Homo-oligomer: A and B are copies of this chain.
Amino acid sequence: MDLTVYLAGQIHDDWRETVKTKAREKNLALTIVGPQTNHERSDNVGEDIIGKQPASVHKDDAASSINNFRTQVLLQKSDIVIALFGEKYKQWNTAMDASTAITMNKPTIIIRPESLVHPLKELSNKADVTVETVDQALEVLQYIYE
């Protein structure tokens, strides 16, 4: 059974490559998708495509419309969502994507460090599964195929 997995969350390390590599090693039939991970491209895509905007608020709005479009297309194609929170940044997009996925009834795994247990407690409680590491999330995926 082929499953498509959307990897929401921070883009400041290469955890998505880790997921892909380990999924291959475990022979899981997964298609991995996710957001634009080039931060600069993600911030500039509105102006890149639509052209120079008069102020940063409009530049941001142009970029976010295209980022949201991409996310919506890929979330709708996904069977599973994994959302990873790191210790830095506000990560509101991670919270937004996880919450959207849960409300769309997409089975959702949250990965968060122990230090974030308290501030993420409500979101974690709404998700199907919460773990602390990428490896644990992969074990959960592998469990589907056992």
Q: Which residues of A contact B (CB under 8 A)?
A: 1, 3-4, 31, 33, 36, 38, 41, 45, 48-50, 54-58, 60-61, 63-74, 76-77, 79-80, 89-93, 95-100, 102-105, 107, 109, 114, 117-126, 128-132, 136, 139-140, 143-144, 146
Contact = CB atoms under 8 A, between A and B. Distances in A.
A63 to B, nearest CB: 7
Choose among A38, A57, A77, A114 the residue with the greatest number of B CB atoms under 10 Å from its CB.
A57
Nearest to A130: B65
Nearest to A89: B119
A1 B129 contact: no
Given A54-B55, A56-B118, A96 B136 contact: no
Nearest to A135: B49
Given A57-B117, A92-B95, A68 B140 contact: no
Contacts of A80: 73
A100 to B, nearest CB: 5
A121 B71 CA distance: 14
